[in-house]
Amino acid sequence: MIEAKNIDFYYGDFHALKNISMKMEAHTVTAFIGPSGCGKSTFLRLFNRMNDLIDATRLTGECRIDGADIYHKSVDVDELRKKVGMVFQKPNPFPKSVFENVAYGLRVGGMTDKNRIRQRVEAALTGAALWDEVKDKLKKSAFELSGGQQQRLCIARALAISPAILLMDEPASALDPVSTSKIEDLIHVLKKEYTLVIVTHNMQQAARVSDKTGFFMLGELVEFSDTKKMFLNPEKEETQNYLTGRFG
Amino acid sequence: MKHAEKELIAIKEEVSRMWTLVLSQLEKAKQAFFNNDVEQAREVVSREKRVNTFELKIDSDCENYIALYNPVAIDLRLVLSLIKISYTLERIGDFAEGIARHIVEDSCDAVTESLKDELELAVMFDTVIEMLSDSFTALDSENTRLSGKILAKDERIDAIYRNAIRKLAVYLRKEPAQIECGLKTMLILRKIERIGDHCSNIVEEIVFYIDAKVLKHKKNREPAA
């Protein structure tokens, strides 16, 4: 389970997240929606400590995964990121072959057995619903794949190191509808083995793929509820205005 | 106002126009029945096509709205409600036409004024007309306070209907020669009773749209104040 408690986050003087608390159960998909700059990506990046890479940031509150404080000084951030994988808005394959993209994390993690690596790569590509499309071009450059395939390759790369949690920051926003649909189908399948948290600007996508949805605005979590409830009968007027396009 | 909002308001206005027509059909059917006015009854029959046209247009507009705008939350509830309300208004229009057809096709002098009074036909007609009019007000003003009253009126209609059937049976035992007129009267009673049920369905849709509550198939249907 992922748990955030009374989170405040600052970029310098800018108060980006304001007293946010939320629990996300294992094997669920949670979507974060909200206008640009509302803090949803900042909040997502807390869970694999990607915000640590940004200067002059400050965090207060508790952020726990399976009960453990991930910001405790004893936490090895590299180990945390093995457990909490991330997929970004734009597919960002390495300038390597399809196979090596997926094998990279395994090799960096110290795996040397070629057979084992091959098995894990195949399993990850299968898990990302890409194996059938790339099994005959594993040695080709990842850049030769289509945008949708590259994004699924990035998902496979994240899956290869067996994370428990997958964070997705607008994973389909750069993709065409067919590729988007494949990613959404994949999210439904991945939820059986992983806990997924997804940031999306596409509200219908949030409605289609998630179990719970959090609506953020101006750094606040306005509403967090079952997706079906939020999209049929949101509690807060701000949520309703945003969902129905009457925001702003 | 956003374009999507304007489109939705346009559909709502179309439903309002359909409502006005169906209400007028019902009022005219009532007048034709009490005055045995065949001409007015014919007018109701001929205007039924306009009711059907409204339903088709609203169906099509709602389908387009869902396909093009992917409505959610209150917009989704409204468009779903409008589809069902327009279908229900069309059914009420059919009943008004059915009543009018009885007048056009089987003139029946045996349904005397005193029998009409005894069966409380005027009360039934007036009550369903009020229900339809009040439910229109509820949607137009987006206020569900009236809904409890409207649902209570349906209970009243049901009670009058059951009582009227008993009285009609007594009448027909005394006047077996009037069986054809008796059956016609029973069919009219049944149509009015069904109009009451349909008005209740409309109210349930309005409550779903405004309060996001489902009253359908619940024993205690009155929404909380």
pLDDT at B224 over 80: no
Interchain CB distance below 8 Å, A234 and B73: yes
Chain B residue with the nearest C-alpha to that of A246? B2
pLDDT of residue B149 exceeding 70, the answer is yes
What is the bridge-based pairing of β-strands A2-11 and A14-24? antiparallel
Determine contact: B208 vs chain A, CB below 8 A. no
Which of A215, A228, A233 to probe the B interface (max B CBs under 10 A)?
A: A233
Distance, in Å, from the CA atom of B40 to the CA atom of B26, rounded to the nearest integer, reads 11
User: What does pLDDT average to over chain A?
Assistant: 93
Residues of B within 8 A of A233 (CB-CB) are: 73, 77, 212
According to the model, what pLDDT value does residue B180 have? Answer: 86
**Phi, psi torsion values for A46, nearest 5 degrees:** -65, -30
| Max CA separation in chain A (angstroms) | 57
Which residues are CB-contacts of A246 (< 8 A; sequence separation ≥ 6)? A240, B2, B5
How much is the average pLDDT of A217-231? 96
Q: What residue type is B73 in one-letter code?
A: A
Q: What is the pLDDT of residues B112-145, one digit of tens each?
A: 788 888 899 999 999 999 999 999 999 999 888 8
Is residue B18 within 8 Å of residue B58, measured between CB atoms? yes
Chain A residues lying within 8 Å of B4, measured CB to CB: 244-245
* Cα–Cα distance, A64 to A72 (Å, whole number): 10
What is the per-residue pLDDT for B2? Answer: 80
Give the gap in angstroms from C-alpha A227 to the nearest C-alpha of chain B: 11
pLDDT of the residue at B181: 86
| Residue of A232, A238, A242 best to disrupt the B interface, most CBs of B under 10 A | A232
From chain B, pick out residues whose CB is under 8 angstroms from the CB of A177. none
Gyration radius (Cα) of chain A, Å: 18
pLDDT at A69 over 70: yes
Domains in chain A with CATH codes: 2-243 (3.40.50.300)
B residues 3-22 lying closer than 8 A (beta carbon) to A: 4-5
Using a CB–CB cutoff of 8 Å, tell me whether B2 touches chain A. Answer: yes
**pLDDT tens-digit map of A167-181:** 999 988 888 888 888
Q: How far does the CA of residue B74 sit from the closest CA of chain A (Å)?
A: 7
Please report residues of A whose CB lies closer than 8 A to that of B72: 203, 207, 231-232, 243-244
What is the DSSP-derived secondary structure letter of residue A97?
Answer: B
Those residues whose C-beta lies under 8 Å from the C-beta of residue A130, and which sit 6 or more positions away, are A149, A152, A153, A155, A156
Q: What is the mean pLDDT of chain B?
A: 91
More confident residue, B107 or A117: A117
Nearest-Cα residue of chain A relative to residue B78? A232
SS3 of residue A56 by DSSP: coil
For residue A60, pLDDT beyond 60:
yes
- Rounded to the nearest angstrom, the minimum Cα separation between A230 and chain B is 7
Give the type of residue at B55: E
Query: Taking 90 as the threshold, does the pLDDT of residue A145 lie above it?
Result: yes
Rounded CA separation A159/A70 (Å): 20
Name the percent of chain A lying above pLDDT 90.
81
Of B105 and B24, the structure prediction assigns the larger pLDDT to B24
Residue with structure tokens 């009670």?
B159
Higher-confidence position of B160 and B115: B160
- pLDDT tens readout for residues B162-209: 999 999 999 999 989 888 888 889 999 999 999 999 999 999 999 999
Flag if A233 and B212 touch (Cβ within 8 Å).
yes
Residue that is written with structure tokens 């084992």 in the block: A116
Residue A246 to residue B71, Cβ atoms within 8 A = no
> Rounded distance, CA B182 to CA B115, Å?
10
Rounded to whole angstroms, the Cα distance separating A118 from A220 reads 45
For residue A158, pLDDT beyond 80? yes
pLDDT number for residue B225: 45
**Residues B139-153, mean pLDDT to the nearest whole number:** 90
Q: What is the pLDDT of residue B220?
A: 67
pLDDT tens for A86-125 read 999 889 999 999 999 999 999 998 999 999 999 999 999 9
Q: Is the per-residue pLDDT at B25 higher than 80? A: yes
pLDDT band (50, 70, 90) for residue B107 = low
Name A133's Cβ contacts closer than 8 Å, sequence gap at least 6: A149
Helices (H), B70-178: 73-105, 113-118, 121-140, 147-174
Mean pLDDT of A199-208: 92
What's the CATH number for B3-211? 1.20.58.220
DSSP string, A104-158: HHHHHTT---HHHHHHHHHHHHHHTT-HHHHTT-TTSBGGGS-HHHHHHHHHHHH
CA distance B99 to B94: 9
Q: Which residues of B touch A226 (CB under 8 A)?
A: none
Which residue in chain B is spatially nearest to A202 when comparing CA positions? B70
The count of C-alpha atoms lying within 13 angstroms of the C-alpha of A10, restricted to the half-sphere facing its C-beta, is 9
CB-nearest partner of B2 from A207, A233, A245: A245
Q: How many CB atoms lie within 10 A of CB B137?
A: 11
* pLDDT for position B110: 59
Sign of CA dihedral B127, B131, B137, B142: positive
A232 pLDDT more than 80: yes
SS3 A91: coil
ipTM over 0.85: no
- Lowest-confidence pick of A15-19, A99-103, A182-186, B55-59: A182-186
Dihedral, CA of residue A216, residue B66, residue B144 and residue B130, to nearest 10: 170
Q: Min CA distance, A179 vs chain B (Å)?
A: 20
* Mean pLDDT of the region A37-42: 94
